[in-house]
Amino acid sequence: MHPQAWIRASFLRRRPWEIVALATLLVILGLAAIARAETLSGSSGRHFTRQLAWAVVCVLAMFAASLPNYRRLMRYSYLALLASLVLLVAVFWLPEINGARRWIRLGPVGLQPSEFAKLACVVALARYLMYRESYRRLLGLCVPLALVMVPLLLVLKEPDLGTALVFLPVMFAMLFAAGARKRHLALLVAIAVAMSPVVWSQMSREQKSRVTALAEQTGPGESPTDDGYHLHQAKLQLALGGWTGSVLDAQAIDDFCFVPEPHTDSIAIVLGERFGIIGWIAMLSLFLLLAWRILAIAEHTREPFGRLVAVGIAALIGTQVVINTAMFVGLLPITGLALPLLSYGGSSMLANALALGLVLNIAMRPGYEVTNEPFRFVD
């Protein structure tokens, strides 16, 4: 076999197709839930059609992100974060949409910079933390904190509490994986707690009301308060699903427990209503397998930048899943946070596709390279 053909065949063999399969199953599950949401809301089906089109685009984007050597992309990591910060600032000069400034309209397409800022933050943190002297000293941890707090505060100001909650857990996961000292991490936790009044002061009245609504949850048969309406309706619709899913028609469900924005942030509720607890177990199992496989790739990656990027992406996906599902059972405040690969939205799906493309890229190049081609192949 020709050497170049052998290299291409080896790259195809080493591509972690199980990640592609898991992501595909999650997208299919999301499409099924979006179709159910449109049935419940009586819409024309345009969300399903658009999400299907975005899924095709994102497949191409994922494989495109897996082609160039990810270590070549490393040199642009800080530039990517800077570009995302510029876009996060730019949204404040644009008109509000649904009471928030989160989107940049590009003709018929809406770009949500915060979705890409999360991935850019992971890549920038990985580049900084790949050097041992960057995180073994206490002062060295100030830079990761700054890299995270700047986009966090900008996202919080939009306002977007859900996305803002994602940054800190991802940072701590990457610091822990990099080998930061435990006493330094404990100090950062103390600093984060001390800064909570500052974060609270930057939150809007609506965001604060969603936090305080956790202490005012209503029981069965009780009328929900204005701030607790979304959570109350979510619990009712989840209860309808039972173990195997609801058999009620759309009109009956709409009269009983309508959930706002069922195709976006509340897609997990629709999934639970349509497929029941078994559907939720299947969804969470797929996410768990996806995160486990990404962490396995990180473990077998000998290059520090790639290893940290993989850990950051696993933490990013896992954190979003935990927050999105926990808020609909009353454990966290209900916020605007998409469920990765399932919720309707092109920006969210594209950002996650690029992240998974980077994981594929890292998995195909687990060792160091001395030329443009892999120096050593690992089965």
Tens-place pLDDT, residues 131-189: 766 666 777 788 888 899 899 989 988 878 888 889 999 999 999 888 888 888 888 78
What pLDDT, on the 0 to 100 scale, is given for residue 341? Answer: 92
> Model's pTM, two decimal places?
0.87
Distance between alpha carbon 270 and the CA centroid of its chain, in Å? 19
8 A C-beta contact, residue 273 and residue 354: no
pLDDT, tens digit, 9 for 90 and up, residues 197-213: 877 776 777 777 777 77
Mark the ranges of the chain whose per-residue pLDDT is less than 50. Answer: 1-7, 9-10, 369-379
- Contacts of residue 324, defined as CB under 8 A and 6 or more positions apart, other chains included, come to 162, 265, 268, 337, 338, 339
| CA-wise closest residue to 199 among 227, 159, 237 | 159
Q: Each residue of 63-81: b (16+ CB within 10 Å) or e?
A: bebbeeebeebbeebeebb
DSSP collapsed to 3 states, 276-296: HHHHHHHHHHHHHHHHHHHHH
- Provide the residue type at 120 as one letter: A
User: What radius of gyration do the chain's Cα atoms show?
Assistant: 21
Q: Which pair of tokens denotes residue 37?
A: 């949401």
Residue type, 257: C
Looking at residue 245, its pLDDT comes to 77
What pLDDT score was predicted for residue 332? Answer: 83
